């Protein structure tokens, strides 16, 4: 206790000294300089305060330079900079300056005249013409701030707008585009809104064939002559001298596709190698890509009007086929000298293929959610465009040797795993007719695979699986996956006496392993804003639904088995919600909520073991070992070898909060809080023929593991910190966590002091690949 008190006192003294020096950067400021401490903007106007808030915020964005940052009055970045300027700064000061130092911002760096000019210009753009902006400097010997006072004039407001049109047909399209305008009577003048309207009209015109049009050809003119109280009318027209070819629509005269274009030598096949499909010419020496398969992905048609959006979507769809590394669509005017009412274009589509066959081999260090880790090797063979219709065939084989590095008494167990999986990806919906999905190419995926797992001291597990389904993107953020056919067969063999003893003790567990045949349908919906790197507050939501056994139950006439195999019947759903708050350089606060629930029914008393939920581990509640939480307040005996199998459930709730920040180069840091557990929501069947130990275990699972009103008191809660090596999205993660609430302790003894609370399991180290969420 004495040693701990002394250490805390030393840390306190060091913190006080740091604060004292960080607050006293004034002694480092040169004699001929004054440190700039900040800006204040005062807006004076007759407008309502709430209406002026966006204007104030916009004026604040114009102010430069920004003063040196401070936290509670401490300018640590500036302090580290000054310390590094010493003749012998030392390694620590150099490092602190490199990571956190800031160049000083002096009053001499502030150009108040320029700021006043920018603010007046911005106020003019927002309709506050003839406003006034003045600046005032508040200075001491070492520090100075600047106050800008803006006196806003009464804004000009729109009374009515109209199109100053003539007989040109293009004005009809402009009028159509303006039906969705945001220009409203009574709104003040807004230059940015006028620019937005011009861009919006330009987009509409380009969707109606106006290939050569440009938003700069449009002009808004304001007229204040009818009013004397700061009101105006707005007129929209084409600028004088707008080129003739810009105000006529263009149609597509011909479409030529080069499915095997070589970008290296810019070679084109001879005209004799031409095939026509639905008015589109496919030019290829040999049939690299079947025209009837490629034609549905070209959205514009011969004789149709040019549409920039259709051209963009066509390019995206062709790139999404997975067969091409470059897609280039060129539109060429057929006649630029004699354009009257309409122009014409030739469309050439150049497609440069990816390498048709490839083999990729990976050496891996595997870490799994069940606590196993070890080396592995994986090899994948790919054949793109295997049937000349954009199909991709892949064959993947993998082998691994793993040892359980966590999991209590099960630590040290080994397993050997191997598998072979074949996938066929078709860029269309089978057996349906080609669908013209506007955003992306829907894909059909057929999968067939087998795996074998030899787990020491326990069993050999072989499994075979096949699926047939569809994947598609509705837009940039939304992804769907539907598998109407999903079949898994699991065969548990070569069980040891030790594992049979575990099954004998737990009828609930034995029942879950007897469900060897799983056939059903599953669907996953994902909304992912993380693909947009410009979003500061992206959201990620993924939810899935898995239903098994209904079709088999119908076909078997209600029997509990087919082909001599007992099949599972259940419904299972989960949702994973994440919210990211980003700022600065790679800093983020990430919150996550997860909920999953599975309901066995029909001839199933429990969920199959592979479908059950568990909690704890590097991708869950990190202050607890793999599968050491739940169900509820249940815990296996310390000397039990079956805890890995006992502690699962059919309901899972979790929440996580993690602050991520950069440390140096590829090294990142994190602080986190995790909470979660699993529970049972259905009764555990008790067989009267079971022995006393098995019956007692089943009764204990029911009494302690059933979900109830006190579920929040049964959450496992932990805190911790971590280091991550992040090299171009390859992440090696080290997390050290400690429990805050231990649900399986007696009520009243569940809360403990993290890291210093004592007791077993107070420190849990997690090693993993990738971020936890």
Mean pLDDT split into 10-residue runs, the chain, 773 residues: 42 48 73 92 82 86 90 82 87 84 92 96 94 94 94 93 91 94 93 96 96 95 90 95 93 94 70 84 90 92 94 91 92 80 92 92 65 80 94 94 62 80 93 68 94 84 93 92 93 81 71 76 96 92 95 81 84 97 89 96 84 91 88 74 66 97 88 96 69 75 88 95 88 93 90 80 85 90
Residue with tokens 């568990």: 614
Longest dimension (CA), the chain: 99
By residue count, the chain amounts to 773
**First CA to last CA distance, the chain:** 39
Q: What pLDDT does residue 398 have?
A: 92
Retrieve residue 581's tokens.
């708050």
DSSP 570-634: EEEEEEEEEEEEEETTTEEEEEEEEEEEEEE-TT-SS--GGG-B-B-STTS-TTS-TT-B-STT-
Exposure of 671 in the CB half-sphere (CA atoms within 13 A):
3
Distance CA 724, CA 735 (A): 8
Retrieve residue 168's tokens.
């040109």
Distance CA 509, CA 488 (A): 19
Residue with tokens 């950067």: 25
Integer CA distances (angstroms), 270 to 277, 286, 622, 739, in order = 18, 11, 64, 72
Question: What backbone phi and psi angles, to 5 degrees, belong to 404?
Answer: -80, 110
Retrieve residue 420's tokens.
């072979």
Residue with tokens 């919210």: 579
Exposure of 561 in the CB half-sphere (CA atoms within 13 A):
7
Distance CA 413, CA 401 (A): 11
**Closest by Cα among 487, 550, 476 to 518:** 487
Q: Contact 210/345 with Cβ under 8 angstroms? A: no
Q: What pLDDT does residue 10 have?
A: 47
Retrieve residue 14's tokens.
């060091």
Q: What pLDDT does residue 190 have?
A: 94
Q: In whole angstroms, what separates CA 321 from the centre of its chain?
A: 22
Q: Contact 456/413 with Cβ under 8 angstroms? A: yes
Which domains are delineated in the chain? Answer: 2-151 (3.10.20.310), 157-246 (3.10.20.310), 250-353 (3.10.20.310), 358-430+444-456 (no CATH), 463-660+675-715 (no CATH)
Integer CA distances (angstroms), 549 to 466, 545, 559, in order = 15, 14, 11
List 762's β-bridge partners, or say none: none
Q: Which helix (H) or strand (E) holds 654?
A: strand 651-664
Question: What backbone phi and psi angles, to 5 degrees, belong to 604?
Answer: -110, 130
The packing angle between helices 2-23 and 76-84, to 10°, is: 80
Integer CA distances (angstroms), 639 to 406, 726, 746, 753, in order = 15, 39, 19, 26
Q: What pLDDT does residue 491 have?
A: 84
Residue with tokens 């760096």: 109
The packing angle between helices 692-705 and 507-514, to 10°, is: 90
Retrieve residue 685's tokens.
């069947």
Distance CA 318, CA 354 (A): 13
Radius of gyration of the chain (CA): 34
Retrieve residue 390's tokens.
């954009």
- Whether residue 631 has a cis bond before it, omega within 30° of 0: yes
Q: What pLDDT does residue 573 have?
A: 97
Q: Where are the alpha helices (DSSP H) in 132-285?
A: 170-177, 191-206
Q: Contact 429/308 with Cβ under 8 angstroms? A: no
Distance CA 702, CA 310 (A): 60
DSSP 444-463: EEEEEEEEEEEETTTEEEEE
DSSP 521-580: EEEEEEEEGGG-TT-SS-EEEEEEEEEESHHHHHHTTT-SEETTEEB--EEEEEEEEEEE
Q: What pLDDT does residue 683 have?
A: 75
Q: What is the DSSP letter of 20?
A: H
Q: What pLDDT does residue 524 have?
A: 98
Q: What is the DSSP letter of 35?
A: E
Distance CA 213, CA 210 (A): 6
Q: Contact 300/252 with Cβ under 8 angstroms? A: yes
The three-class DSSP label of residue 256 is strand
Q: Contact 404/398 with Cβ under 8 angstroms? A: no
Q: What pLDDT does residue 405 have?
A: 62
Residue with tokens 């079949």: 487
* Helix, strand and coil percent figures for the chain, each rounded to 5: 25, 40, 35
Q: What pLDDT does residue 419 have?
A: 94
Distance CA 624, CA 766 (A): 10
For residue 303, the tally of other CB atoms under 10 A from its CB is 12
The packing angle between helices 692-705 and 497-505, to 10°, is: 60
Distance CA 45, CA 135 (A): 17
């Amino acid at each position: 206790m004495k040693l701990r008190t002394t250490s805390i006192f030393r840390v306190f003294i060091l913190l006080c000294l740091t604060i004292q020096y960080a607050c006293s950067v004034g002694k480092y400021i040169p004699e001929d300089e004054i440190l700039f401490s900040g800006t204040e903007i005062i807006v004076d106007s007759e407008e309502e305060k709430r209406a002026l808030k966006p204007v104030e915020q916009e004026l604040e964005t114009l102010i430069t330079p920004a003063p040196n940052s401070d936290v509670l009055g401490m300018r640590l970045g500036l302090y580290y900079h000054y310390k590094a300027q010493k003749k012998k700064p030392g390694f620590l000061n150099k490092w602190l300056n490199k990571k956190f130092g800031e160049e000083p911002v002096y009053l001499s760096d502030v150009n108040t005249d320029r700021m006043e000019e920018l603010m007046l210009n911005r106020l003019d753009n927002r309709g506050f013409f003839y406003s006034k902006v003045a600046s005032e400097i508040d200075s001491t010997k070492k520090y100075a701030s600047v106050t800008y006072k803006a006196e806003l004039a009464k804004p000009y407001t729109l009374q009515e707008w109209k199109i100053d049109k003539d007989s040109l047909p293009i004005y009809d399209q402009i009028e159509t585009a303006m039906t969705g305008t945001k220009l409203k009577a009574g709104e003040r003048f807004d230059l940015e809104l006028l620019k937005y309207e011009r861009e919006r009209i330009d987009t509409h015109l380009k969707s109606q064939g106006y290939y050569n049009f440009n938003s700069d050809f449009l002009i808004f003119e304001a007229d204040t002559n009818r009013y004397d109280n700061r009101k105006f009318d707005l007129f929209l027209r084409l600028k004088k001298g707008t080129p003739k070819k810009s105000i006529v629509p263009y149609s597509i005269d011909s479409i030529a596709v080069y499915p095997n274009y070589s970008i290296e030598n810019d070679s084109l096949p001879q005209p004799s190698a031409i095939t026509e499909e639905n008015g589109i010419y496919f030019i290829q020496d040999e049939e690299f890509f079947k025209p009837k398969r490629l034609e549905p992905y070209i959205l514009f048609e011969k004789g149709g009007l040019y549409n920039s959006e259709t051209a963009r979507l066509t390019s995206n769809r062709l790139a999404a086929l997975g067969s091409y590394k470059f897609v280039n669509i060129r539109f060429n005017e057929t006649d630029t000298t004699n354009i009257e009412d309409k122009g014409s274009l030739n469309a050439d589509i150049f497609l440069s293929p990816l390498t048709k066959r490839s083999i990729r081999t990976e050496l891996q260090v595997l870490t799994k959610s069940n606590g196993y880790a070890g080396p592995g090797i994986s090899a994948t063979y790919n054949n793109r465009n295997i049937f000349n219709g954009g199909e991709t065939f892949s064959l993947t084989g993998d082998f691994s040797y793993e040892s359980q590095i966590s999991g209590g008494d099960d630590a040290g167990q080994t397993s050997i795993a191997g598998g072979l999986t074949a996938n066929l990806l078709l860029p269309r919906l089978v057996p349906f007719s080609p669908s013209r999905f506007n955003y992306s190419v829907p894909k059909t995926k057929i999968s067939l695979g087998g795996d074998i797992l030899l787990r020491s001291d326990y069993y050999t597990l072989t499994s075979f699986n096949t699926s047939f389904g569809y994947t598609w993107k509705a837009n940039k953020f939304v992804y769907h996956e539907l598998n109407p056919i999903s079949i898994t067969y699991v065969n548990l063999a070569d069980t040891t006496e030790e594992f049979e003893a575990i099954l004998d003790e737990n009828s609930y567990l034995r029942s879950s392993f007897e469900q060897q045949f799983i056939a059903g349908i599953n669907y996953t919906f994902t909304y992912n804003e993380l693909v947009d790197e410009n979003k500061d507050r992206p959201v990620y939501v993924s939810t899935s639904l898995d239903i098994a056994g209904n079709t088999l139950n119908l076909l078997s006439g209600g029997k509990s088995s087919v082909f001599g195999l007992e099949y599972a019947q259940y419904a299972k759903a989960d949702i994973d919600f994440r919210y990211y708050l980003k700022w600065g350089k790679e800093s983020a606060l990430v919150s996550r909520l997860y909920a999953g629930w599975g309901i066995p029914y029909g001839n199933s008393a429990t969920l199959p073991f592979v479908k059950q939920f568990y909690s704890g581990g590097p991708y869950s509640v990190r202050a607890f070992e793999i599968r050491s939480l739940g169900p509820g307040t249940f815990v296996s005996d310390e000397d039990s070898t079956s805890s890995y199998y006992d502690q699962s459930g059919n309901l899972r709730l979790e929440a996580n909060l993690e602050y991520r920040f950069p440390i140096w180069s590829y090294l990142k840091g994190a602080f986190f809080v995790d909470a979660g557990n699993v529970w049972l929501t259905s009764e555990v069947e008790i067989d009267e023929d079971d022995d006393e130990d098995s019956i007692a275990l089943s009764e204990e699972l029911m009494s302690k593991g059933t979900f109830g009103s006190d579920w929040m008191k049964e959450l496992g809660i932990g805190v911790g910190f971590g280091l991550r090596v992040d090299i171009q999205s390859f992440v090696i993660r080290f997390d050290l966590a400690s429990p805050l609430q231990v649900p399986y302790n007696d009520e009243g003894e569940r809360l403990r002091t993290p890291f210093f609370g004592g007791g077993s399991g107070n420190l849990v180290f997690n090693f993993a690949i990738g971020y936890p969420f």
